[in-house]
């Protein structure tokens, strides 16, 4: 196992433990893109919303038409998939936000460039 995936696993466990506490108080669930779902031109969807750590994002899409990849800032800006990135493919992916910046793209060829990408700051 590489250092990268080891620390990613530890981070995932810490988020899980932290969220067990905060969930009782105040966790919200958001459907990315609202009725339109996770598709092209979704990059502006987070605008004007306030997200908190442990809120859940639901990504709805047709499997095979899109996917959801957890990336870093460079991956978001440049539409590149970092090594070891987590890939979701169910078409109904529920992902908890970590505190701070969270970046997601679809890494099908050209889709991120066409706005199938979101950046979210969770307080
Ligand atoms: C999407 O991400 C997966 C997992 O990292 C990778 O295997 C695949 O090559 C990526 N696709 C593109 C088009 O970058
Ligand atoms: Cu896509």
Model confidence over 14-68: pLDDT tens digits? 888 878 776 666 889 999 999 999 999 999 999 999 999 999 999 999 999 999 9
Closest residue (by CA) to atom 1 of ligand 1?
107
Among residues 116, 54, 64, the alpha carbon closest in space to that of 91 is found at: 64
- Ligand in nearest proximity to the CA of 62: 2
Distance 67 CA to ligand 2 centre (A): 6
The CATH number assigned to the domain with range 27-122 reads: 2.60.40.420
Mean pLDDT (whole number) for 58-86: 97
pLDDT on residue 15: 80
- Ligand in nearest proximity to the CA of 106: 2
Please list, in sequence order, all residues whose beta carbon lies within 8 angstroms of the beta carbon of residue 98, skipping any fewer than 6 positions away.
Answer: 11, 15, 53, 122
* Contact of 38 with 60, CB cutoff 8 Å: yes
- Could you state, in order of their start, the residue ranges of all structural domains in the chain? 27-122
């Amino acid at each position: 196992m590489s250092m990268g995936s080891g620390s990613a696993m530890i981070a995932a466990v810490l988020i899980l433990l932290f969220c067990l506490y905060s969930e009782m108080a105040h966790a919200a669930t958001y459907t990315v893109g609202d009725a339109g779902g996770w598709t092209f031109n979704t990059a502006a969807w987070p605008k004007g919303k306030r997200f908190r750590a442990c809120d859940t994002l639901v990504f709805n899409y047709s499997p095979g038409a899109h996917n959801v990849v957890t990336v870093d800032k460079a991956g978001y800006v440049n539409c590149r998939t970092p090594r070891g990135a987590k890939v979701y493919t169910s078409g109904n992916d529920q992902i908890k936000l970590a505190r701070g910046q969270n970046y997601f793209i679809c890494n099908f060829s050209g889709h991120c460039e066409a706005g199938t990408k979101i950046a979210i700051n969770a307080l």
